[in-house]
A and B are shown apart, each in its own frame.
With several copies, the nearest count.
Chain A
Amino acid sequence: MKKIYLDHVATNPLHPEVLDAMLPYFKEHYGNPLSIYEPGMKAREAIENARESAAALINAKPKEIIFTASGAESNNFALKGIAYAGQGKGKHIIVSRIEHHSILNTARFLEKAGFAVTYLPVDKNGAVNPVDVDKAITKETILISIIHASPEIGTIEPVAEIGQIARENGIIFHTDAVSSVGNIPVDVQSLNADLLSFAAHQFYGPKGAAALYVKEGIRIVPLIYGGIQEGGRRAGTENVPAIVGMGKAAELAKRDMQKRIDHISPLRDKLIGNALKTDKVLLTGHPEKRLPNHASFVVEYIEGEAMLLLLAAKGIYSASGSACSSKALKASPVLISIGVPAHLAQGSVVFTLGEETTEDDINYFNETFPQIISRLREISPYAKGWEGMEGSACTAQK
């Protein structure tokens, strides 16, 4: 059976060249990068080369890159590290309501530790209004953190404007760019970012390698204390092969970025155009300002996980923000924040394309998706509308 991977926002397959670049660091160059003999020094050099490639991808300096093990770690590090470093100045932080869990849950932790957090609303397309950021700033504000692009609805946020506002107010600005870096051009200078999180597995690199950009001169308290790795800012024996893989993946992403976008974006448009022909299928997120590989919908009257499973049975791999498909068993906060009612949010489904996606894949998808929708609607008690649906909130079962 055909296998069509349309869940690139969850993780990417490893690029074969990336694996090739990594392999010597499992085998010959196994040394600890702190060691002063050959297998260690080779590892050290490889890390520094990877740092250059990672920096180049976002137009930063190599020494501004701190390697971590995941996007989530980068986000935790950014929020806690700047909060602890800046708490003498003030204890107020601004984030949006559509941040990734690794930002939202860290913000909640900081609230318990005595920080005040403002959670900014978004409009129906999922965009933060820079005016709201400006209004939320107080004398106590030390950090603004806004996601660059939502993995769930694809919307690209006006991060440059928000960064500009932060800069004018002397406030540190972090952006979670895990779902954007490698997929669209990201430049920390033009985004006015002081900190930026990104992860290799989002651009054909390995899992286990990610980074936090920290602008030169900004003080950050470590999340992981220990030895002198990463300039004393992130301890732990370096995951050399994964870091090497991140470097290679960054190099490829920089080289192939436009080619990838030119290939993926028309296929994505074709997918969206076809999906919207089916009745009661709605695009979520911004119609234009969205990740070029990203198509996200709510399909009325049916539930997301059921769609995923039937699609998977046809070899199509995708994701959903439905409560059923997330083990958290709560309707996606992102969909709720853009005003999707909870019963509609259950019908969420997200397709994210990659460089290996072909026109044939999309044709096959375009045939299959409407069939699956109608099959599930045949089973649904709501197939003709939401009448009879009780409006009560979902509490009893949770």
Chain B
Amino acid sequence: MYSAKVMDHFTNPRNVGEMPDADGIGTEGNPVCGDVMKIYIKVNDDKITDAKFQTFGCGAAIAVSSMVTEMAKGMTLDEALKITKASLAEALDGLPPQKMHCSNLGADALHKAIEDYRNKQK
């Protein structure tokens, strides 16, 4: 069902956990639907220096969270805003069709975290 890459990121997720001193936090999804992602970022000089996540959800949701935090680290905020559902799925060697929309909330959560950070800067 899942690609080897998804299984790897699901069974050994990177960047798990809360980040008490996060500069931005974004949450997407709803437990009623089965998937919630919470993304924390640390920002320095417009760059994401660290990212963490907490996720309630299925294998795909956890793998997507792991992957999106990996990808975001080291990116500028503008670069990170270009991460999409499609690019995440691609980085994971694909996702089953029924998971594309429900469980692939990583980009949205990340974008919300960036928004949160920017709002705080104002």
Contact = CB atoms under 8 A, between A and B. Distances in A.
Interface stretch (B49-57, B72-80, B87-95): B49-57
Contacts of A301: 56
Contacts of A113: none
A2 interface: no
Contact of A306 (B32, B58, B98, B102): B58
A313 B12 CA distance: 12
B30 A394 contact: yes
Nearest to B102: A397
Interface string B14-38: 0011000000000101111111101
Interface in A261-316: 301-306, 309-310, 313
A303 B58 contact: yes
Interface string A210-235: 00000000000000000000000000
A342 B7 CA distance: 26
Contacts of B30: 343, 389-390, 392, 394
A26 interface: no
Contacts of A146: none
B25 to A, nearest CB: 10
B62 interface: yes
B69 to A, nearest CB: 12
Given A324-B102, A379-B16, A380-B56, A313 B11 contact: yes
The secondary structure that dominates the B interface is: mixed
A386 B11 contact: no
Nearest to A36: B1
A80 B75 CA distance: 58
Interface in B75-122: 98, 101-103
A323 interface: yes
Given A323-B34, A324-B34, A392-B32, A302 B56 contact: yes
A324 B1 contact: no
A398 B35 CA distance: 12
Size band of the interface chain A makes with B: 35 or more
Nearest to B56: A380
B33 A386 contact: no
Contact of B35 (A41, A324, A390): A324
B85 to A, nearest CB: 12
B31 A346 contact: yes
Contact of B98 (A329, A343, A382): A329
B11 A322 contact: no
Given A306-B62, A394-B33, A398-B33, A381 B103 contact: no
Contacts of A303: 34-35, 56-58, 61
Top 4 A-B residue pairs of the complex, sorted by shortest distance between their CB atoms: A324-B58, A394-B33, A343-B31, A381-B54
Interface of B: 1-2, 7, 10-11, 13, 16-17, 27, 29-36, 38, 53-62, 98, 101-103
Given A36-B1, A327-B98, A379-B16, 20 more contacts: A303-B56, A303-B57, A306-B57, A306-B59, A306-B61, A306-B62, A313-B11, A324-B35, A324-B102, A329-B102, A331-B32, A343-B30, A379-B54, A381-B27, A383-B54, A389-B30, A389-B31, A397-B29, A398-B33, A398-B102
Interface of A: 36, 41, 301-306, 309-310, 313, 322-325, 327, 329, 331, 342-343, 346, 378-383, 386, 388-394, 397-398
